[in-house]
Structure 1
Amino acid sequence: MNRNIELFKDIIDTSDKITFFTGAGISVASGIPDFRSIGGLYDKVSKDGYLPEYLLSADYLQSDPTGFINFCHKYLLFANKQPNIVHQWIAQLEKNQQSLGVITQNIDGLHTDAGSVNVDELHGTLNHFYCVQCHNHYSKCDVIDNDLRTCESCGNAIRPDIVLYGEILNQSTIFNALHKIKEADTLVVLGSSLVVQPAAGLISNFKGQNLIIINRDATPYDSRASLVLHEDMVSVINELNPLK
């Protein structure tokens, strides 16, 4: 174990109000491509001649509900993707009452699948769907297993409970996330570039002792961090031997 990982372990072991902030990098480790990477969503739909921002917009849902839900089934639903050791480690620290919970930019629902309870999903989650008309709720399993495209009650379109372009973020989720960050003694950022809002604005509210950033590339907050690891997060967490 190198010195930086030993320091990371010491900080985690001596903290009891840890807040985690996660981005696309943690999902990539589970086989879900980063939206903007080669082979990711933006790359795939752009090659098909579409504007990704439009296909993920409230305008597209309203103008072509069938096309929207078909797009979701083709590009967003990953039935075979599972939480990785980093998700599991985060969930275990919450179970051990060392963590206040996790704030995530991801919509894949893997934190909840791993057992995390106190999760603020800034951009919503694909684990839940609802009817645009009668608001009947469905789980992701319901949608995938039954290939649901329309509501079983009223026949109207169903949509994932995610924030689309043209929609505002849930203010209660933002409030909860801010509270977690302000109350934390340690803030651990995993797999986020910290350039997409509201990420940068939220992180700037941290006043605790230790800001730790684990991300392959540099972020605007590296100079403010107590510890920066530009390493593969799965390898880092494996070195901690947390689940054995």
Structure 2
Amino acid sequence: MKQAQRLQQAAALIRQHHQIVAFTGAGISTESGIPDLNGIDQILKKSHKFAGDVFRFLDPEEASADPSGFYQLYRQTFCQPEALPNRAHQALVQLEQANKLLGVVTMNVDYLHQTAGTRHVAEYWGDVRHNHCTICHHAYDWQKPSTSTVPTCPNCGGLILPDFVLRHLATYPDEIRYGQQMLAQADLLLIIGTRRPATSFRLNCPKIVINTSQSARDSLHDSNTIYLSGKAAELLHDIVA
């Protein structure tokens, strides 16, 4: 089936359903200037820091050992306060305002869904607004991490790090529960900009996958899913408009 036909089918599904949930990954924010995992990998490899490994980069011990290197790369990847929501984020707001979207479950830490205006968001890893001193544990928003070369706590001089780094990328149980509650109520699931396969969601509802690439193997084994290949901002705008 050609993509134009799949777009028509996806648009029809959105018109027909009123308990839609969006599950989003890094791919939804690339057009806002925030790199996805492939882009982050390339940035890390070019820097020759943290062995080009994103998990070493986001390890609190590694970040504390080279805070200048960490923050130099952090501002090229996860922390970009000047980034603005793109048409994909705005399309989801449009669905929520039309009482068709229950909410968004996201793996992202960029806070762009909320900046766009989405009210119901489950953030599995939190977001860049939450930071703490590594010594006295005083809380900070993202102003210091985004502007100071190496942000330190004025109270004790300790290094300030993002919470999702300090937590070793551990998810938040309350956010997981909130996301699972939304997913359990979904009558249509939008899977946007993530490597997670559609078949991993144990839901009987139809699904629409939007990604720059898709797994042919996945599509062969999931007849309940429409696969759209391309940029999330363009495709979501087309099927929601």
Q: TM-score, normalised by structure 1?
A: 0.81
Structure 2 match to 1:217: 213
CA offsets 1:46-100 (integer angstroms, 9 cap, x no match): 2232223212113314545565445434543223311101101112222332212
Is 1:59 the equivalent of 2:79?
A: no
AA at the equivalent of 2:208: I
Contact 2:23 2:191 in 1 (8 A): yes
Q: List runs of 5+ in structure 2 lacking aligned partners.
A: none
Deviation at 1:21, TM superposition (A): 0.7
The CA RMSD measured in Å over matched residues stands at 2.7
Contact 2:64 2:159 in 1 (8 A): no
Q: Secondary structure at the match of 1:124?
A: coil
**2-structure distance, mates of 1:71, 1:31:** 14
**1-structure distance, mates of 2:240, 2:173:** 37
Structure 2 match to 1:81: 83
- Larger proportion of helix: 2
Structure 1 match to 2:229: 230
Structure 2 match to 1:206: 203
Deviation at 1:221, TM superposition (A): 4.3
Q: More relative contact order in 1 or in 2 (CA 8 Å, sep 6+)?
A: 2
**2-structure distance, mates of 1:17, 1:152:** 47
**2-structure distance, mates of 1:235, 1:17:** 22
Q: List runs of 5+ in structure 1 lacking aligned partners.
A: none
**1-structure distance, mates of 2:64, 2:117:** 34
Contact 1:163 1:169 in 2 (8 A): no
Is 1:6 the equivalent of 2:29?
A: no
Structure 2 match to 1:113: 115
- Shift of the 221–131 alpha-carbon distance from structure 1 to 2, 3 Å rule, reads farther
Q: TM-score, normalised by structure 2?
A: 0.82
AA at the equivalent of 2:202: N
Aligned residues, how many? 233
Deviation at 1:213, TM superposition (A): 0.8
Deviation at 1:34, TM superposition (A): 1.7
- Shift of the 74–204 alpha-carbon distance from structure 1 to 2, 3 Å rule, reads closer
Q: Secondary structure at the match of 2:175?
A: helix
Identity percentage over the alignment? 28
- Shift of the 71–31 alpha-carbon distance from structure 1 to 2, 3 Å rule, reads closer
- Shift of the 156–82 alpha-carbon distance from structure 1 to 2, 3 Å rule, reads same
AA at the equivalent of 1:216: T
Selected match of 1:172 from 154, 171, 174: 174
- After superposing the two structures, state which structure 1 stretch, 1-10 or 174-183, moved more: 1-10
CA offsets 1:184-222 (integer angstroms, 9 cap, x no match): 011000111216xxxx79x423232x1111112124643
- Shift of the 74–226 alpha-carbon distance from structure 1 to 2, 3 Å rule, reads closer
Pairing 1:148-167 to 2, within 5 Å after superposition: 149-163=151-165, 166-167=168-169
**2-structure distance, mates of 1:235, 1:71:** 29
Contact 1:123 1:163 in 2 (8 A): no
Deviation beyond 6 Å, 4+ runs, structure 1: none
- Shift of the 163–183 alpha-carbon distance from structure 1 to 2, 3 Å rule, reads farther
Contact 1:24 1:192 in 2 (8 A): yes
AA at the equivalent of 2:47: D
Q: Secondary structure at the match of 1:2?
A: helix
